[in-house]
Structure 1
Amino acid sequence: TVKSVTPFGAFVEILPGKEGLLHISEIEWRRLQSVEEVLKEGDQVEVKLIDYDQKSGKLKLSRKALLPRPSKKS
């Protein structure tokens, strides 16, 4: 569940009381001008844990890792 939206991404609760950062560059394959183009507070979103910082306990999440990569146009 999206808990808050910032200019650089969204904080998503993946387990009760455990949040991670979904950076704007990890939301979609296309470049977004604003997080609000895709997400808003309270949205349910499927994410993948892509990094965990043991020192800080911070979680780095990705949504685009679960989306098919767009084919390159020739």
Structure 2
Amino acid sequence: MNYPIPDSPQEIAELRQQPVDEEVVAAVIAGVVKLVRAQGQSLEDLTAQVLEDDQMLDRHQRRWLSKLVAQAWESFP
């Protein structure tokens, strides 16, 4: 992966300046998982946040994203 895993919300926000591709999305997901864990939150907490209704993603997309987040959660030590 060409992008390091972000260590802060600011580093995640900086990735918005990059063209969106699979590597940027993977780095952001990994960064979010890392930050959420550091804050003492659980996978269930993060999944609930991902599944919250919003204007950007429809229900199907939120479920798909929650599965990706869960896989990332399980993949990281």
TM-score (norm 2): 0.24
Richer in helix (by share): 2
Larger RCO (CA under 8 A, 6+ residues apart):
1
Richer in strand (by share): 1
